[in-house]
Structures are given as C-alpha cells and as structure tokens.
C-alpha cells in the first residue's frame, strides 16, 4: 500500500479494498520498523491516528467523504501547532510545549478527512539546510543514511521518501521545502507567499515563511495543495482568492511552453554532475515541445547576503517571546528576572538559532538599521523586479535546486557560510514571494537530484501541470530507496 499514489489510495478506500484503519496501521507499522534508522519523527500520534482513521471509515461507509483525501494519512512538520499534542519546532525551548489550538493547515487537513500519523523532525525553529540543528538529533537521508536529508523540512522529506507517510507538510523560508525534496528524491512545492495561512505555524521570518505540500509526485502535491489553501482572517498576510482546483490542469499539453534558463544558476559552485542531470531534464521538456531561452536575473547574486540580513532580523524579533516566563523552557532556580531571561534563552536555544538572533539584533540596532536591514529590503525589491521582467518573456524558469547532491552528515556543520550557500538557488524565490517547486530528475552517486521549476505569482496550477507532464515521461518520482521498499 505504501507505494500507491494518493489517487490510488483514494480509489482503494472507496472501493473497500482496504479501510482507513488498515491503511493507517500499515504506515504506523512502517514507522515503528524503519524510523529508528532515519529519526524522521519527533512524535508519533498512534492513538489519534487510529481514532481519526475510524472516523474517516465511517464517513466513507456512509458515502459521505469530506474530500478525495478522506482517510489517507499524512505527517505534519513539527512547526505546525496541534491541539493537545507537543509542538517542539525541533527545539529544547519548546520540548514541553503542548499547543492549545490547531494551526490553520492542521484544521484544513482535519476538515478534509486526513489522518495525522505524527510530527516530523526539523532544524531548530526551521533554521538550517541539513536537519542537523534539531534538538532531537539529525535526520538521515533514506537513500544513504550517511547523508543529510536537507533542511529544514528534512523529517517530512525523509518520511515521504522512505514511504513512512504518503504525504507531509513542510515550510519554506529560504528553500526548506524544495531543498530537502531535491535531496530526498520527492516532489515539494512552495506556494505564492500568502496562499497558505501561517496561523499556528511557529514563526521564523514572517515575510518569508510559507507552508506547502511534500509528496511523491506532482499529482499528489496538487491534491494536497487543494486541502491546504484557503483564506484565513487570523493571518493578516493570508490572501483572499477564489478557490482553485490544482488538479484541473495537470494533463494540459506543454507544447510551446517557454522555458527560461538563467546563466546565474549554472555558474561557479554548481557541481557539474548536478548540472548534467538538470540539463538532461530540460532536454526532456524540449522533446515534449517546449522551447528554451536564456533569461537574466542580474541581482540573483545578492540574494544570499540580503536573505541573511532579513531572515535573522525577523527571527530575532519573533523569537524574543521565548523568555522563560509564559511558556516553553525555563531554567532552574533563577536568581532574579534578568537571570531567568538570560539562562532560559542560553540553555533553551541551540547554536544556530543563537547565531541568527545575534546577527538579526545587530542588523536592527540603532545606527545599523539603514546600513543593513533597509539596504537588504531594497535589494529584495530589485530581485522581485528581476523575476517580473523574466516572466514577461517566459512561462517558467528552470534550474538546479541545490549546488550539490546530499552531503555527508557533519560535513558542513563547522562552516556556517558554506552551509548557507546550499540555498543559493532557492532564496531569491522567497525574497520575491513567487511559487517554486522541486521534482526528482535523476541521481548522482545514488543520491537524488532535483529540478527546480519557478513560476509567476499564483501559477501553482501551471507549475504542477509542467511537473506532472515531466513525470508522465520519466519515473524518477516513483523510485523508492531499496532499504525501505
């Protein structure tokens, strides 16, 4: 059952080939059997899952399913609040935090009849590119357990790649859905900023964070996105738009599609083996009738420095609330209020989170705000204008997701700058707020490589169509690591 697509699982449930309880138990058994090797889950919610599966079976038996996904299990990244269940954000700071409400994404999933298997491991407060900063230990890549799965949604990516869950939620602040999707050989989509509500999604950088689907294929991601989007008045950045069926355009022809390929994405630093895989994937599109042309993103080289001013600045503000007073970790026997603040934050946060808080606080401080933060926001506008110009010439931009395949665990932990450059092809998309996705395109030394598709605002349906047409011609998305088959 774990190798079936969401459409096949949906059909199987409706045809009474298996029940939701049986399907859920199958995945729970796989988690028990395999997750010790991967560390992809922080919390497994077996009792909740089986209760939700039983309720889904009753709806299916009555012929009244909530959605096409009713009765199908999923995993939530442990950044989404879940009522009555620990929401840790991969941090010691929130190891004892039990959320008193559900995130909008979680509520939407429940309304669609989805079954929650548990909460997946992640880089602490979503800060990382390798899933090695988690308080609960590093996640391993199912294709090679000596390698990282990517971050910060590495737990979700690893769980889907190993088929411990048929789908999972992720969040993307600078590439944290697309990069782990690429390194684990699955499909991941970062929607247009504001399309998926951030209510109940623990904030890292509020103007960049966006939730999205992670699944085996574009078709699965489209079904999942249908269940995630929707206006939410509790999120001031949530966009009020007419409902859209993201599966409706999947089978449209891509003949005549104009693909833009930026030379900036194929410069020094890109592993030539990754470049070869990406170029072969683009040639597959040409064989399907698409045309390819050069596009320029002249300010792309400024995206990493701009991002690492804006994101830490917003994180330093968002994480100020964790002070040992209201909720979360509190130090033992504080001498006074100042000691409570200092020791709770010093003991509760990991080194990467502290590093970004310090950078962000400095960038926002008097005398440096104009020199750093304001300049970074001006560069952000230039990057956004670059994409606007490019999309006046082409339908989609393609390139690599990551400059290398998955690197080994521990390889970059002592060099933060090298780690930050892992996101060099993904960060500009978050700064501009446009949608983008990663799809499996091949392997280098048995480690997956992703192709990045970047679209104009609100072009999710088109991106999913473009991805689906590639997946109809190739089978990279259907491959499962041998150890977990």
Least confident window among 35-39, 138-142, 326-330: 326-330
Q: Classify residue 263: in a domain, yes or no.
A: no
Last residue of a domain, one of 350, 379, 408: 379
Q: What is the pLDDT of residue 367?
A: 85
Q: Which pLDDT belongs to residue 228?
A: 97
Instruction: Check whether residue 14 and residue 100 sit in a common domain.
Output: yes
Indicate which residue of 4, 10, 19, 77 is catalytic.
Answer: 77
Q: Which of 222, 257, 292 is the last residue of a domain?
A: 257
Whether residue 108 sits in one domain with residue 181: yes
Q: Are residues 82 and 225 in the same domain?
A: yes
Please indicate whether residue 20 is annotated as part of the active site.
no
Q: Which of 257, 288, 314 is the last residue of a domain?
A: 257
- The answer to whether residue 240 is domain-embedded is yes
Structural contact between residues 186 and 401, judged by C-beta atoms closer than 8 angstroms = no
Structural domain includes residue 236: yes
Shared domain check, 244 and 315: no
> Is the preceding peptide bond at 152 cis, omega within 30 degrees of 0?
yes
Instruction: Determine which one of 176, 303, 422, 438 is catalytic.
Output: 176
In a domain, 449, yes or no: no
Confidence band for 356, pLDDT divided at 50, 70 and 90: very high
Residue 331 lies in a domain: yes
Domain co-membership, 230 together with 316 = no
pLDDT band at 86 (very low <50, low <70, confident <90, very high): very high
Rounded distance between C-alpha atoms, residue 420 and residue 423, angstroms? 6
Alpha carbon distance 275, 270 (integer Å): 7
Least confident among 106-120, 276-290, 338-352, 413-427: 413-427
Q: What are 434-456's pLDDT values in tens digits?
A: 999 999 999 999 999 999 999 99
What's the rounded Cα separation, in Å, for the pair 72 and 165? Answer: 9
Which tens digits make up the pLDDT trace of 386-396? 999 999 999 99
Residue 340: which domain range? 301-379
Residue 266 domain flag: no
Question: Residue 416 has what pLDDT?
Answer: 87
Q: Within 10 A of 266 (CB to CB), how many other CB atoms are there?
A: 17
* 371-384 confidence digits (pLDDT tens): 999 999 999 999 99
Q: Residue 366 above 90 pLDDT?
A: no
Residues 97, 237 within the same domain? yes
Mean pLDDT (whole number) for 299-314: 95
Provide the angle, in degrees to the nearest 10, between the axes of the packed helices 218-226 and 6-14: 60
pLDDT at 417: 84
Q: How confident is the model at residue 267 (pLDDT cuts 50, 70, 90)?
A: confident
Is it the case that residue 476 has pLDDT exceeding 90?
A: yes
Residues 329 and 238 in one domain: no
Backbone angles phi, psi at 353, to 5 degrees: -65, -45
Contact 139, 121 (CB under 8 A): yes
Four-residue CA torsion sign, 225, 227, 230, 235: negative
Q: What backbone phi and psi angles, to 5 degrees, belong to 288?
A: -90, 0
Q: Give the predicted TM-score (pTM) of the model.
A: 0.97
Asked if 315 and 212 sit in the same domain, the reply is no
In the set 10, 88, 130, 152, the catalytic residue is 152
368 and 225 within one domain: no
Render pLDDT for 176-215 as a digit per residue (tens, 0 to 9).
999 999 999 999 999 999 999 999 999 999 999 999 999 9
Number of domains in the chain: 2
Q: Is 176 designated active site? A: yes
């Amino acid at each position: 059952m774990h190798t079936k697509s969401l459409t096949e699982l949906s059909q199987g449930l409706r045809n009474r080939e298996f029940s939701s309880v049986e399907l859920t138990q199958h995945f729970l058994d796989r988690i028990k059997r395999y997750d010790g090797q991967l560390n992809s889950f922080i919390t497994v919610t077996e009792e909740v899952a089986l209760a939700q599966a039983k309720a889904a079976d009753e709806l299916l038996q009555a012929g009244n399913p909530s959605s096409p996904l009713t009765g199908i299990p999923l995993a939530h990244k442990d950044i989404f609040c879940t009522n009555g269940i620990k929401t840790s954000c991969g941090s010691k700071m929130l190891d004892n935090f039990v959320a008193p409400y559900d995130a909008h994404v979680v509520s939407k999933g429940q309304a669609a009849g989805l079954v929650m298997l548990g909460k997946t491991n992640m880089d602490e407060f979503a800060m990382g590119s390798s899933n090695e900063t988690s308080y609960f230990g590093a996640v391993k890549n199912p294709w090679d357990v000596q390698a990282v799965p990517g971050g910060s949604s590495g737990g979700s990516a690893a769980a889907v790649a190993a088929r411990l869950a048929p789908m999972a939620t992720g969040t993307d602040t600078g590439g944290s859905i697309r990069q782990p999707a690429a390194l684990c050989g699955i499909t991941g989509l970062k929607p247009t900023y504001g399309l998926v509500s951030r209510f109940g999604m623990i904030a890292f950088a509020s103007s960049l964070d966006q939730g999205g689907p992670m699944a085996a294929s574009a078709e699965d991601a489209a079904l999942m996105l249908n269940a995630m989007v929707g206006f939410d008045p509790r999120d001031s950045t949530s966009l009020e738009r007419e409902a859209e069926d993201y599966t409706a355009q999947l089978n449209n022809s891509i003949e005549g599609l104009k693909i833009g390929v930026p030379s900036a994405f194929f410069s020094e630093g890109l592993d030539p083996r990754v470049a070869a895989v990406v170029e072969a994937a683009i040639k597959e599109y040409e064989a399907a009738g698409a045309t390819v042309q050069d596009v320029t993103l002249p300010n792309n080289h400024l995206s990493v420095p701009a991002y690492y001013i804006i994101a830490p600045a917003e994180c330093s503000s968002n994480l100020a609330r964790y002070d040992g007073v209201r909720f979360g970790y509190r130090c033992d026997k504080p001498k006074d209020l100042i000691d409570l603040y200092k020791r709770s934050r010093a003991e509760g946060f990991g080194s990467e989170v502290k590093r970004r808080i310090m950078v962000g606080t400095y960038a926002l401080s008097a005398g440096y705000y104009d020199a750093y933060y304001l300049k970074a926001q001006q560069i952000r506008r230039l990057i956004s204008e670059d994409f606007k110009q490019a999309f006046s010439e082409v339908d989609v931009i393609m390139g690599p997701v990551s400059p290398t395949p998955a690197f080994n665990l521990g390889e970059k932990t002592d060099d933060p700058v090298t780690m930050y450059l892992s996101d060099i092809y993904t960060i500009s998309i978050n700064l501009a707020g446009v949608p983008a996705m990663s799809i499996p395109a091949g392997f280098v030394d048995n480690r997956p490589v992703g192709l990045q598709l970047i679209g104009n605002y609100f072009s999710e349906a088109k991106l999913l169509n473009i991805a689906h047409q590639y997946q109809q011609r190739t089978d990279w998305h259907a491959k499962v690591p041998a150890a977990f088959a």
